[in-house]
Structure 1
Amino acid sequence: MTFELQQHLAVQAGNVETVLDRLTSAAALSGETVRPPRLLAAMRHGALNGGKRLRPVLVLEAARLFGRDDAGVLQAACALELVHCYSLVHDDLPAMDDDDLRRGQPTVHKAYDEAAAILAGDALLTLAFDVLCEDIVHADPAVRLRLCRELSRAAGIGGMAGGQMLDLDSEHRARSEAEIRQLQSMKTGALLRHACRAGAILADAPETDVDRLTRFGELIGLAFQLADDLLDVEASPETMGKATGKDAEAGKATLVGLWGAGKTRQELARLLQEAETLLKPYGAKARTLTAIAEFIVSRTN
């Protein structure tokens, strides 16, 4: 990652963190009774623990590509990040991936307990749609409704949650390449795809451009999972900030396990080339999105 991209991502991640901090503050909102301190603390532990904030940054950069860069886009980006944070809290539970560390810190169920982690995930997910419905996101309520529906489908039974179920079902059983691609496009790819698509929608981009950004999101979603699986095989726990080697230990089917590291790197290069080709019509305006795609392919943690 270049210094310029690293600095830019740090600034954007800081902006996201500031809004997440506000959204998970102690003050009850209209229609709420009280925000229980222990639940709120567990939510904040799961949402305010750093990270690159890749998904909200993709929303911000996709919207900026089409000329929109304001607090409403940041609000929508944070709604997506709340969904992602909920998924991590639940994925770390003993009944799922059973992880003790997340970004070098105790996972929510370790810092609190399983019940608090389940409720924290539930509350983060629910809060996301509250946040996305606010007027600041887009002046047209039809657009806000569209974003809510699309985020719901990206996160739900036919998206991320469904992909997690397929992933759990793949433990200690053979999966074809097509089956692995499908589950990964749902488990990991769905939210990354939505991030790029949502940014274009927020900026009122023509549908042809929404489709182009959707395809870009699909490509980097697959690339992200391939790179993640490669790191699970090759990186150290210290570098990753979490346990590694868990896919093989759990007997999970991955494309890296099917192909080996060499072919995986070839596919990563192919995905990057296609992603860059998709962005060429936008010229220099797409420089940051192109750099993010390059970072995803070559990341080391």
Structure 2
Amino acid sequence: MPPRTGLTSRRWPSCSPPVFRGTPTTTGTKPGIPMNTYCGSRSSRPARLFSFALLDVPLRVRLCRSHLREATADFGLNCLATASMGNPGFLAFFLLSALLCAAPALAQHKEQHRGPSDLKEYIELLERPERDKDQKPDEVIKALNLDRYMTIADIGAGSGYFTRKFVWAVQDKGMVYAVDIEPGMLKYNEEMIEHLHTPYNAKFIVAKENDPLLPPKSVDLVFLCNAYHHLDKRADYFTRVKATLKPKGRVAIIDFYHDERSGNLGFSKDHLIPRDTVIKEMTDAGYTISKEHTFLPKQYFLEFVVAEK
């Protein structure tokens, strides 16, 4: 397959699973080019949370007065209607109070569950110029010691903050898999890579929450930045990842410290995973830590290889 230069915009059919080289493709696509799945969404999650905020007005206002951020019970429409009977101003007051009280919970929800309704705002957050100061992407790429012939999987690739760095590092000699569960993010990622105007090989995989859907024994480096803490069944996930690694393949994990070292992240740190826990979980999944980099001020940066039997 000739290298893609990024000069021609390509759009793949929607609602199809990832297709890899050598497999049949749907009419209108070129053999060997992956078809992306830009269908399905998780937009209902923020919508449900927003509706919950509106319905739970009396309870949320009381919780706000107690400096609590999230409601834990459901009063529903009956409670709201009863509280507002005979006083329209009362309803307006409670609706405004509920929205103000729900804002922190919504902000945290956006960080933990990215939905299409949040994409523009979330992409702006990921791509903000000041992120480079603490993330040090060029130093990360240098520390990974990449070569032009590597195959790299960027899991939780998002808007492509690191995907573009990997594409630039290996260009058309290697391969980059951008893996994410959010189709809209991958679409933006692909469009930005096309604007690099450089030859490259890249595939965009809409993965499952518990499976990256990578080809077996195909990857030299699996990379996750701020994605590890989003995974639920991590032992099962990295058992699957192990099957995708080439001999001497490795896994690099960057994630936020769960304590004061990460500073103010704008969301709760309750769901972050401590460094020592990551090492233990990866060890339990059959890996051993091979290297640790300490130049990132807010994040740990660990490398793992499959443990020898």
Q: Structures share a fold, TM > 0.5? A: no
Q: What is the TM-score normalised by the length of structure 2?
A: 0.30
Tell me which protein shows more helix as a share of its residues.
Answer: 1
Greater relative CO (CA pairs within 8 A, separation 6+): 1
Q: Which has the larger radius of gyration?
A: 2
Q: What is the TM-score normalised by the length of structure 1?
A: 0.30
